[in-house]
């Protein structure tokens, strides 16, 4: 059954007038009349008795009205209050990101975002696992991705460049010396991310590492504790570099190895909460780019 035709019928039944019903639904009187006639034809019964002066429901029309009017009203209210049908972004935004992003700029992004859009509730899951966004119900994923998107059910937006640079603690360098050339790294303890194939001209990989881990925050903390030299995203090391807990090593060598990307499920109409978060994050990173050089030592 066509709900639009049923809605026209209910408008006529409640106003007892095709003219008033047309005014309520914002259509010409002729369109309302034809719509009700089509509904009657599809049901095979007369719903409304028409005379030159009066409009009244038939027995079948009264029964149909009593059984459907409240349901149509509930359906209209339910659709009208959906978060994405309001102008202001609202509803729950389910977001996933790696731990290193969650430990640095993401909390500030979220704090600023919910001040601007207080009707949005954030459910943030930090994990280095590559989640199945559609199957697990995530609206947005932030990832470090240097390649093409393999999943056609997702849409990807590049947000910025992530630079990997070498860092170590002052205590480690005091104990082991400061490498002056990439060749000197062979004499040092290296801490690398699992899956790292190389770092530009430096040739770092799991093969020549003393510590391997799958979490950049762990690598940073291990480097701060004096475990060795670690290639880290510059944004992750910035605060500790400023505080003197990390020192930049071989500052001439930087590898712009990957990009920060935002993923969301592909849809004809992107939810307002998703597009608002995307635009907000783009603006934020234009002012505070991830590739900003944290300095050299």
pTM (two decimals):
0.64
Q: Higher-confidence residue: 274 or 196?
A: 274
Tokens representing residue 237 in the block = 């090391």
Residues 91 and 230 in one domain: yes
Residues 65 and 97 in one domain: no
Give the mean pLDDT of the chain.
85
Range of the domain at 16: 3-81
Q: In the chain, how many domains are there? A: 2
Closest among 117, 97, 92, 118 to 107, alpha carbons compared: 97
Q: Which residue do the tokens 């609202």 mark?
A: 90
What are the pLDDT digits (tens) for 231-262?
999 899 999 999 999 999 998 876 656 788 99
Residues 29 and 120 in one domain: no
| pLDDT attached to residue 297 | 42
Tokens representing residue 119 in the block = 């009707």
Q: Are 182 and 202 in contact (CB under 8 A)?
A: yes
Residues 226 and 109 in one domain: yes
Residues 164 and 47 in one domain: no
User: Residues near 105 by Cβ (< 8 Å), separated by ≥ 6?
Assistant: 235, 284, 288, 290
Q: What is the CATH number of the domain that holds 31?
A: 1.10.10.10
pLDDT over 90 for what percent of the chain? Answer: 35
Closest among 42, 43, 38, 33 to 63, alpha carbons compared: 43
Residues 46 and 181 in one domain: no
| pLDDT attached to residue 56 | 85
Range 68-78 average pLDDT: 77
End-to-end CA distance of the chain: 73
| pLDDT attached to residue 199 | 61
Residues 212 and 292 in one domain: yes
Range 33-57 average pLDDT: 86
Residues 213 and 97 in one domain: yes
């Amino acid at each position: 059954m066509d709900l639009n035709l049923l809605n026209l019928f209910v408008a006529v039944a409640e106003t007892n007038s095709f003219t008033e019903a047309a005014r309520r639904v914002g259509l010409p009187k002729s369109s309302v009349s034809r719509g009700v006639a089509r509904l009657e034809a599809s049901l095979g019964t007369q719903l409304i008795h028409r005379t030159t002066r009066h409009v009244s429901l038939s027995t079948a029309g009264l029964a149909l009205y009593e059984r459907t009017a409240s349901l149509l009203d509930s359906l209209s209210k339910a659709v009208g209050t959906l978060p994405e049908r309001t102008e202001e972004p609202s509803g729950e935004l389910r977001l996933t990101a790696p731990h290193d992003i969650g430990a640095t700029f993401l909390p500030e992004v979220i704090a600023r975002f919910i001040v601007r859009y207080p009707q949005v509730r954030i459910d943030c899951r930090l994990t280095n696992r590559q989640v199945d966004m559609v199957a697990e119900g995530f609206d947005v994923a932030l990832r470090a991705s240097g390649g093409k998107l393999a999943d056609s059910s997702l849409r990807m937006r590049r947000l910025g460049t992530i630079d990997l640079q070498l860092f170590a603690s002052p205590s480690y360098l005091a104990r082991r010396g400061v490498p002056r050339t990439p060749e000197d790294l062979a004499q040092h303890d290296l801490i690398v991310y699992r899956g790292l194939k190389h770092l530009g001209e430096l040739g770092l990989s799991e093969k020549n590492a003393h510590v391997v881990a799958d979490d950049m925050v762990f690598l940073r903390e291990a480097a701060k504790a004096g475990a060795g030299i670690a290639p880290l995203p510059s944004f992750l090391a910035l605060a500790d570099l400023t505080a003197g807990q990390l020192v930049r090593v071989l500052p001439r060598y930087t590898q712009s190895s990957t990009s920060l990307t935002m993923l969301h499920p592909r849809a004809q109409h992107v939810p307002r909460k998703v597009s608002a978060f995307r635009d907000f994050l783009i603006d934020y990173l234009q002012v505070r780019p991830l590739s900003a050089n944290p300095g050299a030592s």
